[in-house]
Amino acid sequence: MRAPQGRAALNILVFISRVSATEVALYNGRDRVVNEIIEHSPSDLHAFLTPPEQGQFRFNAIVDLLSERDAKLSNVDIIITEITSHFVPPGLYMVNDELLSLLSKQQIDENHCRSGVFAANHLCQYIKSLYDVECMPIILEPVIDNEMKPEAALSGIKGVVRDPVYHMFSHRTAATLYAWWEKHKGMNDVKVVVAHLGSEISVGAYDSGRMVDCNSPLDGEGPFSPSTSGTLPLDSLIDMCYSGKYDMDEMMNIVSGKGGLSAYMDDVKLHSVMESYHAGNKKTIFLVNAMAYKVAREIGARAAALGGAVEAIVLTGPWANFDEFVEEISCRVQWIAPITIHGYDDELTTLADAAIEAYRGNLKIFLYGQDRK
């Protein structure tokens, strides 16, 4: 790894690809000098069907943002992002041709974060072409082993198994920081319910470090969110599927991407929804409160998965910054356990810390196709 020349600290560019946003942070060591959320409209992202195509789009958005902030890309030593993929074992990886080839074959609707691998690769090539300096693109693939209880994995249809795709890294970061900061314990010593509140919403139950149950937002499970439908009445959904009005891709978009708030509002970006809510728009207030109701109900279900032994309800994600939304959730579930909120930038900081530890040699960086397949 290239050592910083004449500088005391590493410069680390961190970003995370979401369903309707790209979160970006630039660190000098552990000091954050840029911290922004680039919001994308669903129509923009749905124009890109593969991770490489969407990676190019996110790369352009990141470059435009950093240019506006006068960020010095020539000083960037490491670019790091995270993915969730059942095809790559957990760990830190250098972005190489084998990894790009593997992930280019996956459909973007399975997981938007995979586009970040291609954006990271483009960013390093861009910096090399402009400044003739090398930076390292690496990804973190967190642990995604299926930890659910057997009874939670059972779907009720033979041959269909619940295997949720959820905000695992966000969940574990929030739960770990709660355990550290508020209880002076490790994550394995607490029982908590964690809700990631973002373009998708996932609510997980954690029993001594193990995720025992969680909804799968991309599969249309759980509460509705700004972009996903949540659990639906199956009779009505099956009627739509066989109505002849929609093909499979259109139905998938209705469930994930154009569902939830997107089905009722033209603009579901967080700041836009907050402005409309604060302006007293009755439709917006009703929809936000309805979404909070659905989240609270899901939290109650996760509390039941823990047998009621819940030490805390941990809220994280960008929508955890929407005070009225959080209050509407809290007033319905505060009888279960104390509620704590962890800033969404914790996840970005965790990635930056991983890059620093890798630079110091404390974390191994793997090469997909050589060290691991």
Q: For residue 197, is pLDDT > 90?
A: yes
Name beta bridge partners: 38: 22
On the 0-12 / 13-18 / 19+ scale of CB atoms within 10 A, 236 is exposed
- Looking at residue 47, its pLDDT comes to 79
Q: For residue 7, is pLDDT > 70?
A: no
Three-state SS for 174? helix
Q: Do domains 11-144+347-367 and 150-342 have the same CATH topology?
A: yes
Q: Find the Cα–Cα–Cα–Cα dihedral 210, 213, 219, 225, rounded to 10°.
A: -100
Give the model confidence (pLDDT) of 199-246 as tens digits: 889 999 999 888 899 998 878 899 999 988 989 889 999 999 999 999
- Looking at residue 146, its pLDDT comes to 55
Domain ranges of the chain: 11-144+347-367, 150-342
Superfamily of domain 11-144+347-367: ATPase, nucleotide binding domain (3.30.420.40)
- Looking at residue 346, its pLDDT comes to 67
pTM passes above 0.85: no
Distances 341 to 171, 199, 298, 313, 333 between C-alpha atoms, Å: 12, 17, 17, 8, 14
Structure tokens at 1: 């790894």
Structure tokens at 74: 């020539």
Lowest mean pLDDT segment, chosen from 227-241, 283-297, 345-359? 345-359
Average of per-residue pLDDT across 261-271: 90
Q: For residue 8, is pLDDT > 70?
A: no
Instruction: Decide: 93 and 369 in contact? Cβ < 8 Å.
Output: no
- Looking at residue 277, its pLDDT comes to 97
- Looking at residue 109, its pLDDT comes to 52
| Assigned architecture for domain 150-342 | 2-Layer Sandwich (3.30)
